[in-house]
Amino acid sequence: GQQVMQIPQYQHVQEGEDFTTYCNSSTTLSNIQWYKQRPGGHPVFLIQLVKSGEVKKQKRLTFQFGEAKKNSSLHITATQTTDVGTYFCAGPDEDTDKLIFGTGTRLQVFP
């Protein structure tokens, strides 16, 4: 079945450092979504990318969708302690349209 993997699994950074998580799908995706889950919280939608090569920015967060629409990345510039949490990418299964979540990257930011 379709698989969506993320690397790294876990990263800790000093506040102010940059952070990037990478998402790779075994199949082409019609879109990619990113969610953030704070410790003890629930997934919260961040953004959706649809076009090949698309880049979107939200303040310090930059999201990119690969040209082949099989990979994506999330880059955070100058991390803050409020960025702590697990970041999940998710894409639709091409046969059923079910949303398949990536394995997640857990970010820890030390002040």
Q: Which residues are near another protein by CB under 8 A? A: 30-31, 33, 41-45, 48, 86, 88, 91-93, 96-104, 106
Minimum distance between the CB of residue 78 and another protein, rounded to whole angstroms? 26
Shortest gap between Cβ of 94 and another protein (angstroms)? 9
Beta carbon of residue 105, minimum distance to another protein (angstroms, whole number):
11
* Closer by beta carbon to another protein, 18 or else 38: 38
Integer Cα distance of 77 and 81 in angstroms? 12
CB 96 within 8 A of CB 1: no
By beta-carbon proximity to another protein, the closer residue of 51 and 98 is: 98
The enclosing H or E element of 92 equals strand 85-92
Give the alpha-carbon dihedral of 64, 65, 66, 70, to 10 degrees: 140
- Residue (78 or 99) nearer to another protein, CB: 99
Radius of gyration, alpha carbons of the chain: 13
